[in-house]
Structure formats: structure tokens, C-alpha cells
Amino acid sequence: MAQLAAVVGVGQTKYKTKRKDVSIAGLVREAAIAALEDADLTWDDIDAVILGKAPDMFEGIIMPELYLTDALGCNGKPMLRVHTAGSVGGSTAIVAASYVQSGVFKRILTVSFEKQSESNAMWALSNPQPFSPHLNAGAGGYFAPIIREYMRRSDAPYDAGIKVAVKDRLHGARNPLAHLQLPNITMKEVEDSPMLWEPLRFLEACPSSDGACAMIIANEDLATKSPRKPAWIRGTAMRSEPTMYAGREQVNPQAGIDCAKDVYAQAGIHNPRKDLDCAEVYVPFSWYEPMWLENLGFADVGKGWELTMNNATSLIEGGDIPWNCSGGVLSSNPIGASGMIRFAEAAQQVRGEAHGHQVEGAKTALGHAYGGGAQFFSMWVVSADKP
């Protein structure tokens, strides 16, 4: 039987367009030290390090984990690298949790990062691959046709995406670590921003950010002795499916549906809208909020946009299921870390440590990440109360 595990420390850098003041090693160390300080621990208290990183070709540094051992205090300790495209931050946290739940390690430091200022993600994603069509459009160009199909099926109003873009940036303005600080953003400003990939405008897309996120995950015995309130891990799940196959459902991917069902079953979630207090969900392009509301079971198929338009996901408007209170991927996007930020922010909510973007009384929260061509999914449910 799996042992209990909990998040006992969280550390994040400030997310910015360019962190010229630090190297990649300095960036990950900054987040790791913040997590250690949050947990009142030292490097000697860590048994192993689990590192997450998006494709190596982004920064052009192959197997960066090999030279980051010094920065992360793990010379002579086990280190493992995880990579599942954009969902890697979430899957890295799940791998770290699994090592604690299995009893292999008692306390793990897990870190993920991206330094987009030293990379070119759009073109790194557009290099020719054997037996695959060449794509010169980056992530936005890949997902835009899928979004258009969602709009056609659901008959969603054209401004649902605009509404998400405004909501998440207003949330981000409450989070001092968020990259974009746009406290006065308006629907008109988003609508008037340049069209990049129909129907996605410039302000409906995520920024390019430098940053790192770290968490410390401990077993039950150590977590109960932690000086700060732990976030207990109630369920974890990962699923994947091929990018392309005959009849693949891309608007509402089956891997996402299955992943959500699995993590809900583990955590005892029967109705996610009612049983969860908030969610941090990977929304790099605004229209993916209504799409994931349906994929994750918060709304019926074709009705996700209604929750968005009715302010159900808005912290500021008092919605019943606030999404991305930290500002989400639309406010900060260091790709390799973006999924872990979702998981860490969910943990911070149930720990009562989200400060200016705290959901009052939050007890149970969902962290979610997806990557690739909406083919890799990772999710966890955390709670304030021990199972």
C-alpha cells in the first residue's frame, strides 16, 4: 500500500521576460533555496532530486541535469530527469511523489525550469521530424484550428477567450511573482490586440518567461513534523496518447478525460465543481479554459464557455470554482516549469499560503498540466486535511 506524502515546501522565482542576472544553474538554485527555506530544511535533509525540463533543443543544452548537480546540492545523491513536453512540470512532481509514496526516499526536492530568453521555443518545435508533417507555426498555430473546431461545435461566443484573458491577468496582478502585471487590462484592449492565429489574439496567448519552481515532498512522518502546514497529496495520475491517429478526438482528448477520472477516483472527487475549492489548470491560450472545463468534468460537453461567461472561474467576481488564481500560464510561462507551478500553486492554496490570490477556506485543489499536441496529461489533487 502506498505511503502518504505531502508538499512541505514551495519555492518560486520571480517570472520575467529575461533573467540576465542568473545562469540556468543560478535560476534553479534560487527556487530550490526558497523551497528549503519554506520547509525550514537544509541540503543535507534531501535524499534525492527529481528534475523536470522541456525539450533540450529549446536552450540547446543537452541533458542539462548533468551539470546542475552542484547547483541543486545533489553531488553523490540520486538524480532523475523527467521530460513530457509542456506537461513536464506536473509529471515531474508526480514522479517525485511516487518515490516518497513507495518508500524509496523519505524527502525529495523536485525542480523544473525554463530560460526562454536563451531559447527559441517556436522554431525548436518546428524542426523536421521523421515520418511527421513539418509544422512552421509553433504551439499557437497548432492549437488554433482545434480551438476553431471547439467554437464551431459549441457555438461559443467569440469573446469567451477574451474574457479568460482578462480574468487570468487580473488574477496575476494579485500575484507578485507573475510575469505579466496588467491590473488595468480590459476586454477592449484584448480584442484590439493583433491577431496571431485566428481566433487567438496577442493578449489571448501566454508570454515567454524565464523562471523555476521547486517543491519538497516528504513522507507522512516528516510531513507531520513540518513547521508549516503541509499539502497532502490525495491522488496523482498521468496519461498520454499519440499525437496523430485516425479518428483522434483533439478538442476533447480521451487521455485528459481518463487522467481526470483516475485522479478523482483516488481523491474521492465525485463532482469536481462542488468537491474542489479551486483549480490551477494549464491554459496557455485563453480558449483552453472552456475546453478543459469540459475535458475535466466541470461542465457538460459544449457548455464550458458558459461557466467562463458567468464568472464561475473568477476569484475576483466570487465564482464558485476559481481557476488559475495565480494568473496561470497566461500570466507566466517558463515552459518546463509551468506545469509544476500549477501543482505548487494548488498546494499553496490548501496550505493557506497563496496570500493576495488566496481562495478563502480552500481545503481541496486540483493541479493540472498538459503538453505536446494535447497528448500528455498530468494531474494531482491536494488537500489541507490528511487522508
What pLDDT band is residue 122 in, cutting at 50, 70 and 90?
A: confident
Q: What is the pLDDT of residues 202-236, one digit of tens each?
A: 999 999 999 999 999 999 999 999 999 999 999 99
DSSP summary character for residue 4: P
Does the pLDDT of residue 133 top 70, yes or no? no
DSSP summary character for residue 381: E
What whole-number percentage of the chain has pLDDT above 90?
89
| Confidence at residue 60, expressed as pLDDT on a 0 to 100 scale | 85
| Confidence at residue 351, expressed as pLDDT on a 0 to 100 scale | 98
| Confidence at residue 124, expressed as pLDDT on a 0 to 100 scale | 74
Does the pLDDT of residue 126 top 80, yes or no? no
Angle between helices 288-295 and 138-154 (to 10 degrees): 60
| Confidence at residue 109, expressed as pLDDT on a 0 to 100 scale | 98
pTM of the model: 0.97
Could you write out the DSSP letters of every residue in 66-117?
GT-TTTTT-TTS-EEEE-BTBTHHHHHHHHHHHHHHTTS-SEEEEEEEEEGG
Whether the CB-CB separation of 82 and 95 falls below 8 Å is answered with yes
- In the predicted model, what is the mean pLDDT of residues 27-35? 98
Whether the CB-CB separation of 111 and 74 falls below 8 Å is answered with no
Does the pLDDT of residue 136 top 70, yes or no? no
| Confidence at residue 134, expressed as pLDDT on a 0 to 100 scale | 64
Q: Rounded to whole angstroms, what are the CA distances from 247 to 142, 143, 190, 302? A: 17, 17, 34, 19
Which region, left, alpha or beta, applies to residue 103 given φ > 0 means left and ψ of -120 to 50 means alpha?
Answer: left
What pLDDT band is residue 64 in, cutting at 50, 70 and 90?
A: very high
User: How far apart, in Å, do the first and last CA atoms of the chain sit?
Assistant: 14
The DSSP element (H or E) to which 210 belongs, if any, is strand 210-219
Could you write out the DSSP letters of every residue in 16-59?
BS--TTS-HHHHHHHHHHHHHHHHT--GGG--EEEEEES-TTTT
Q: What is the pLDDT of residues 75-93, one digit of tens each?
A: 999 999 999 989 999 999 9
Cβ neighbours for 360, distance < 8 A, ≥ 6 positions apart? none
Q: Interior CA angle at 269 toward 222 and 319, to 5°?
A: 100
Tell me the three state secondary structure of residue 287. Answer: coil
Whether the CB-CB separation of 51 and 328 falls below 8 Å is answered with no
| Confidence at residue 119, expressed as pLDDT on a 0 to 100 scale | 86
In sign, the C-alpha dihedral spanning 88, 7, 332, 62 is negative
Q: What is the pLDDT of residues 344-387, one digit of tens each?
A: 999 999 999 999 999 999 999 999 999 999 999 999 999 999 99
- Cell output for 185: 487590462
CATH top class, domain 5-120+208-224? alpha beta
Whether the CB-CB separation of 86 and 369 falls below 8 Å is answered with yes
Q: Where are the alpha helices (DSSP H) in the chain?
A: 24-39, 88-101, 121-124, 138-154, 160-172, 187-192, 220-224, 254-267, 272-275, 288-295, 304-309, 335-351
> In whole angstroms, what is the distance from residue 11 CA to residue 38 CA?
7
Cβ neighbours for 104, distance < 8 A, ≥ 6 positions apart? none
The chain-wide mean pLDDT, for the chain, equals 95
> In whole angstroms, what is the distance from residue 292 CA to residue 320 CA?
17
Q: What is the pLDDT of residues 159-170, one digit of tens each?
A: 999 999 999 999
Sketch the domain layout of the chain as residue ranges: 5-120+208-224
